[in-house]
Amino acid sequence: MSIVEKFFRKHFGRVIAFWIDWFIVLLPNVTIGILLETFYKEESINDLFFGLGLGFIYLIYFTYFSVKYGQTIGKKLVKLKIVTIGENHSINLKSAIYRHIPFSLFFTFAAIAEPEIDPTPSLNPMYVCEKVCMLWLLSEVAFYLIKNNGQMLHDYIAKTTVIKYS
């Protein structure tokens, strides 16, 4: 079995869980976006509401399910659970917020970033936000690959990890 196959088998569940949860978070936001498009023709306002809504719904969904059940719906379907390192019990509210706020901010800024507004991208604050978001995402992936213990950067910050259960 190749290194790529081993990596894929080990981490596939976490990727699938994320996409299931992402769909759950995105569905109400897209619905709200469609309603906004109906009432507001101003694209920048729609992007702003979509980005803020996406970040808020993401934070509420992931924090609630992580604290209440120790897993999101996606993680439950692939038999994964979020636990506090060394204690193997569900995470508390503080850890959940530390764990989920970076991605909540990432999705908020990524959704509202429009660097084409200003012809000089370096002067546009949203351009800077977009670059910071991309740097965060790359650091998450790099940390995950380098650490090789199943932790991503947001897990490390919150002192949590994701485990497989039967």
pTM of the model: 0.80
pLDDT for res 64: 96
- Dist. CA 61–CA 24, nearest whole Å: 9
CB-CB contact of 95 with 157 (8 Å): no
Q: 161 has which bridge partners?
A: 83
- Tens digits of residue pLDDT in 123-164: 566 667 777 777 888 888 888 888 877 788 888 889 998 888
- Tens digits of residue pLDDT in 73-118: 999 999 999 999 888 778 999 999 999 888 888 777 766 665 455 5
